[in-house]
Structure 1
């Protein structure tokens, strides 16, 4: 194997070649401390602290990015919930439920027209069967009795209450029992309900 000549490498890396020649003669501390052999020997030991710090910094940055992403997602979810709550509040105040494709005239948006949609329509569910209660045992419950009585004390018909014939008869018997005992007035709503509604 032919000997290596340092002059051949001077063409490819002139700065490193000149640095090696000038190192023994230089008084500059940076140049005199440069030693490629010592750099190679300490290659594994020297950047250990730096690499550990770099890894820790990367882990910290990743954790920070994840926490920021989670906080941003949480903020977006909270904002969406607040917007949905506001929308639901507005929908509750609107008596008429508009469906897609509904045709309406300007007078349909009049408050008097919209108030018609607030009125209770006939029920198609038998509440007594749904709750599994006996109407004869509920004669002391004036809130329930007043749901099946008009403002003048008349018993609502089965078309309006939606009760089965047997439950309608039992509810009518409970209403007559409450009025006969004086628990519920026979000519107007119960005073407790009137006080609650006028608040």
Structure 2
């Protein structure tokens, strides 16, 4: 059969209606079958289950022991802290009681000493006066004169002792005994041109009491600042 092409038509190359090898779609890949799951026997399953239960029990027991130990430790620390606080309070109370007891004992001893001193002065009112005068005469033996003032009740007795005291101490001057209506027995005042000594038992007692009071007040302040 012959086909006549019209005039002016372009001749086209004949192509077969087929695809090239590159255009051919690849065949769908075949899906692989899943691997079979491993199978174990019932005995092995029970054995593994028992081991897992044992491990879980051991882990739980260890955690429980640890928690219990921490709880006991916290309780012990709390109890120790409370015990420490109670001990501190008890020690503070004990220290306060000891200071008060010590202060009472010192006051009592001082009171006893005052009473003994009063009894001794009543028995020998010039004992301390003579001792004090004897201590002054030796270092002051070159002094021209010494004046000693004592209570009026003791003037006569002291005048009778002056001569022996002057002789014993090699005192070169004169000793004048003067009576006083305001002095308490046991007190005296010794004067010389460059100085003098006063024995006043009342002021001495006041100074001792003040020293004791200052001592305990200082200890109280020190204990508060610690």
TM-score using structure 2 length: 0.29
Q: Tell me which protein shows more helix as a share of its residues.
A: 1
Larger Rg: 1 or 2? 2
Q: Tell me which protein shows more strand as a share of its residues.
A: 2
TM-score using structure 1 length: 0.32
